[in-house]
Amino acid sequence: MSFNLHSSKKLLIFLGKSLFSLLEALIFALLPKPQKNVAGEIVLITGAGSGIGRLLALRFARLGSVLVLWDINKNGNEETCKMAREAGATRVHAYTCDCSRKEEVYRVADQVKKEVGDVSILINNAGIVTGKNFLDCPDALLEKTFDVNFKSHLWTYKAFLPAMIANDHGHLVCISSSAGLVGVNGLADYCASKFAAFGFAESVFVETFVQKQKGIKTTIVCPFFIKTGMFEGCTTGCPSLLPILEPEYAVGKIVDAILQEKMYLYMPKLLYFIMFLKSFLPLKTGLLIADYLGILHAMNGFVDRKKKL
């Protein structure tokens, strides 16, 4: 009898909490969630020397954050630093760092802790793309893709998460990709690294949840191609439904997601529907949809930026 009473009580508590969480989600779907204040927060952005990383730095500069900019490209990073100051940032710190090298991440992280303080918002944005079919991709490039797009997240979390836990305050941001949700022709190594980054970020979030570290937030971002030059030459078969994203638009959505402490952000919204369809549609139907949207041949016109230089 006592076992049944315990089970019934547990079920009622579960149903009550579930109903509350659904109502809360419904309310915030209809009404904008209040945005948190990030003025004075120490925001570290990897890959800050260009593209999305640079635009994120400028957005957080206008919000009054303390910026820590990491990039392997010293000149590009210093240019971002200059632009951030012009945008209103009073404290900006640029560090040259190859995020693919564990020892370098730890070394520069120690510098940041001593010279700036504890990072409270970590944005893992650095990424590379080879754009080659799997069997045409040299082993060294495969390894580099994983080192930059995924393993760097391990080392930055190891470096900065302990202080977030100690302070019960922090925000972990993973810039993954729509290619971290579905496999894409011509992006086997990139997809694998982005799937890994997504799974890692989600798993660490669950760890913090289980350990009741409620002050640590996670945001995982999965955009379709963005017009930053990284995926130059790539196409979409249906621009009205699956557009190649404008950088300013994408960054605005990313910053809003961080400020509203959203767990997931897929861009464009069609990706939410695609993931829903993927969960139950027959494989052949899914491939037909991918073909119609131009996903199967999206990489055909890819232009490697390094070859252009």
- Catalytic (active-site) positions: 190
Q: Of the candidates 179, 173, 218, which has an alpha carbon nearest to the alpha carbon of residue 195?
A: 179
Sequence-separated (6 or more) residues with CB below 8 Å from residue 82:
none
- Phi, psi of 176, rounded to the nearest 5 degrees: -90, -130
8 Å CB contact between 223 and 291: no
Size of the chain in residues: 309
The string of DSSP letters for 75-100 reads: HHHHHHHHHHHHTT-S-EEEEE--TT
Print burial letters for 206-220: b (CB count within 10 Å at least 16), e (below 16). eebeeeebeebbbbb
Select from 30, 8, 116 the least CA-distant residue to 65: 116
Alpha helix ranges (H) inside 184-309: 188-210, 247-259, 270-278, 283-292, 305-308
Give whole-number Cα distances, 272 to 31, 85, 263, 269, in Å: 19, 37, 14, 6
* Strand residue runs (E) in 104-143: 121-124
**Measured between alpha carbons, how far is 86 from 307 in angstroms, rounded to an integer?**
33
Answer positive or negative: Cα dihedral of 163, 209, 191, 294: negative
